[in-house]
Chains A and B, each alone.
Chain A
Amino acid sequence: MQLALFLIFGVLAVAGAINLLLQRHPINSALSLVVVMMSLAVLYWSLGAEFLAAAQVIVYSGAIMVLFVFVIMLLNAGEEEHTTGSRIAYVAGFPGAAAIFCLLSFVFLSERKAMGGTDLGGYLSHSANNIAEISRLLFRDLLLPFEVTSILILVAILGAVVLARKEQ
């Protein structure tokens, strides 16, 4: 059952990601991104990280993707045109992506034994539950990065004001 879920949603995630790249209309790309996010949520859940799965659905598929779609609708973005620049991207991009894929699969396959496996549907930690683990990390060990992220968001807001405001 778990294996079947993993296979189905793994394939769905990869297919969604490829579709995202191939689609010419931004709305179609955004909707394939929703598919990717949802499949990832199922994969997290099947690994026993149920809190992460719920957060993924609520934050990414819910909040962020809705924003994406809104922005695309507001901008009224039409179909992309393929220029010479993006053909260069095909020539350089696909071999590069293939090379990284091969390198990663080589490393993961050659270290397969050492890394061991995990039971699908197992628990992240056998002693504590998911939420306790994550909150200990987020509000104790990694408290500072968590707090400093607010400066990051502040900088992004400032940037939006600077770059998007109409000049008088």
Chain B
Amino acid sequence: MSPNVLALLPEYILVLAGVLIMLAEPCLPAAASRKPLGWIAILGTALAGLASWYQLQFGTLHAFYGTIQVDAFSIFFHLLIAAVVLVTLLGSLDYFEGHATHAGEYFALTLFGATGMMFMTSSVELLMVFVGLEISSISTYIMAGFRKGQATASESSLKYFLLGSFATAFFLYGIALAFGATGSTNIYAIAHGLETTATPHLAFLALAMLIIGLGFKVSAAPFHVWTPDVYQGAPAPVVGLMSTAPKAAAFAVLLRITFSGFPAMQHRWAILMWVLAALSMTVGNLGALLQRDVKRMLAYSSIAHAGYLLVAFTAFPQDGIAAACFYTATYAAMNVGAFAVITQVSGYDETARSQEDFTGLASRRPMLAALLAFFLLSLIGIPFTGGFFGKFYVFSAAVAAGHVWLAVIGLLNSGVACFYYLRLLAAVYAKPTAESAALTSIPARRVSVPAAVGLTLAAIATLVLGILPGNTLWLTQYAGTSTIIESARQHCAPHPDNCHVELQMEQR
């Protein structure tokens, strides 16, 4: 198979499935259920995940004149994105039933968004990253405003669109400045150009702009202001998707740009990351303390988790990449699970929003309450859940690089975080009061089989990452090592005779 086909196999499958859904949608009668389209989307996502897994045996692939690089790092994020999209699609298969509003377009947009995210993770050319970023962002802007009748939905979509475009402008300007400083927009060519550049200030400004642009996308403080409003107004399954998959993709890009593109400046950007991490953790956790709305609370918690993840950037390259990859996976599993539970509890209209509305959930929906409790415990970082090992690896990587104070700030923040997660948990397991009328007024919908499968998948992933992290850990370390090795390979490509780098991990 030509490398141009092989390297982009998952993306091709997703685009084909998306186009198929678009073509099939008008053929269905207007009143018919859109579930078959959802099944096409689920099948496409599963196939794309399998295709990524299939790519793992080929080591590092290059395609399209060095634009695309498929390695263990990109495959890890491809699998992660495919899994998140799969759980989201399973959980929202019947979300639009009875509200015949563009369910077909929803499935198609999800797949196209996933394509954009996959392009972001497998690309080593900043312009390709930009196009992927725009595809994923624009599809999430649209999906945020899917409940068209509601004022909060329009507010959410518009706010996300305006601030997101602002961030994109920063990212694009960063690319332009990087081109000005090093003469290329390819990540390895930038790394090469940095060694001889006559304009180091310009190069650092380029990196700062790129970090600002991506900081908006991952909602790191102080670029987080859009997060609570957007998460509050968007439909719950969409929030579950957009708080995990696009963030994972943006973090992958950030890892590639910092560790492979600007390794020569690590002593400078590590300080930036230190500040961003400390700010995000503190702002996120303190903000979450003040929230009564469950989705807003989880929005602030996602800011805090972006902060924990940024801690990994201050570590040594190999540890840092592995720890960040692992944390992204655990965060995605538990967060997408938590939002899947909220989707099932509050339904399309989301009458149950605040903590009072969730009081006494356990007596009405014991299974859902137990799952929510499990995901919340994982978000706290209790042992035997994925969240524990995620935090453990991130903080130990930071300590190994000498950033003890950052780890201390992180641990203090985890203590603060306990408080608001446990407050929600206590409310869920408390007796229903008069104030929890909202919950009783919703007819308790049965959880459909696909949604139950999706929830189970998320729960199993969170549990396995907490008990048997070995396999995932191996894959993340493989990803970290292959990234470093590829950087070294590209670095000494002009002198192949002196080039003795080999990837040892492939033998396992």
Q: Measuring CB to CB, which residues of chain A are less than 8 angstroms from any residue of chain B?
A: 103-104, 107-108, 110-111, 114-115, 140-145, 148-149, 151-152, 154-156, 158-159, 161-163, 165, 167
Nearest chain B CB to A85 CB, angstrom units: 11
Within 8 A of A (CB), among B18-40: 22
Chain B contact residues, majority secondary structure? helix
Residues in B whose Cβ lies below 8 Å from that of A104: 205
Residue in contact with B112 in the complex, picked from A103, A145, A151, A167, CB distance below 8 Å: A151
Interface string of B111-149 (1 = CB under 8 A from A): 011011001000001011011101100110110011011
Nearest chain A CB to B285 CB, angstrom units: 25
Can you list 30 A-B pairs with a CB-CB distance of less than 8 A?
A: A111-B199, A114-B199, A115-B198, A115-B199, A115-B202, A142-B65, A142-B128, A144-B67, A144-B68, A144-B125, A145-B128, A145-B130, A145-B131, A148-B119, A148-B135, A151-B15, A151-B112, A152-B135, A154-B112, A155-B112, A155-B113, A155-B116, A156-B138, A158-B105, A158-B142, A159-B109, A159-B138, A163-B142, A165-B102, A167-B101
B425 beta carbon closer than 8 Å to chain A: no
B500 beta carbon closer than 8 Å to chain A: no
Ordered nearest first, which 6 A-B pairs have the shortest CB separation? A114-B198, A159-B142, A144-B64, A111-B199, A145-B128, A144-B67
* Inter-chain contact A152/B201, CB cutoff 8 Å: no
Bound Cα distance from A108 to B199, whole angstroms:
9
For A159, give the chain B residue with the smallest CB separation. Answer: B142
B369 beta carbon closer than 8 Å to chain A: no
Residue in contact with A107 in the complex, picked from B101, B102, B135, B202, CB distance below 8 Å: B202
Q: Which of A104, A141, A158, A161 has the most CB of B within 10 A?
A: A158
Q: Measuring CB to CB, which residues of chain B are less than 8 angstroms from any residue of chain A?
A: 15, 22, 63-65, 67-68, 101-102, 105, 108-109, 112-113, 115-116, 119, 125, 127-128, 130-132, 134-135, 138-139, 141-142, 145-146, 148-149, 157, 180, 198-199, 201-202, 205
Bound Cα distance from A105 to B68, whole angstroms:
35
Known: A115-B199, A145-B131, A151-B112. A162 touches B138 (CB 8 A): no
Nearest chain A CB to B4 CB, angstrom units: 9
For A110, give the chain B residue with the smallest CB separation. Answer: B201
Known: A145-B128, A152-B131. A162 touches B146 (CB 8 A): yes
For B206, give the chain A residue with the smallest CB separation. Answer: A107
Residues in B whose Cβ lies below 8 Å from that of A148: 119, 128, 131-132, 135
* Inter-chain contact B135/A151, CB cutoff 8 Å: yes
Nearest chain B CB to A134 CB, angstrom units: 14
Residues in B whose Cβ lies below 8 Å from that of A162: 102, 105, 109, 142, 146
Nearest chain B CB to A115 CB, angstrom units: 6
Residues in B whose Cβ lies below 8 Å from that of A142: 65, 67, 125, 127-128
Nearest chain A CB to B427 CB, angstrom units: 34
Residues in A whose Cβ lies below 8 Å from that of B145: 163
List 16 additional contacts besides A111-B198, A159-B138, A161-B102; criterion CB under 8 Å.
A103-B205, A104-B205, A111-B202, A115-B198, A115-B202, A148-B128, A152-B135, A155-B112, A155-B116, A158-B108, A158-B109, A158-B139, A158-B142, A161-B105, A165-B102, A167-B149
* Inter-chain contact A145/B138, CB cutoff 8 Å: no
* Inter-chain contact A159/B139, CB cutoff 8 Å: yes
Bound Cα distance from A77 to B142, whole angstroms:
23
Residues in B whose Cβ lies below 8 Å from that of A107: 201-202, 205
Bound Cα distance from A104 to B173, whole angstroms:
11
* Inter-chain contact A145/B201, CB cutoff 8 Å: no
Residues in B whose Cβ lies below 8 Å from that of A143: 64-65, 67
Nearest chain B CB to A83 CB, angstrom units: 14
Bound Cα distance from A127 to B399, whole angstroms:
53
Residues in B whose Cβ lies below 8 Å from that of A152: 116, 131, 134-135, 138
Residue in contact with A145 in the complex, picked from B63, B125, B198, CB distance below 8 Å: B125
Nearest chain A CB to B253 CB, angstrom units: 14
Residue in contact with B148 in the complex, picked from A110, A149, A158, A163, CB distance below 8 Å: A163
Residues in B whose Cβ lies below 8 Å from that of A161: 102, 105
Residues in A whose Cβ lies below 8 Å from that of B64: 143-144
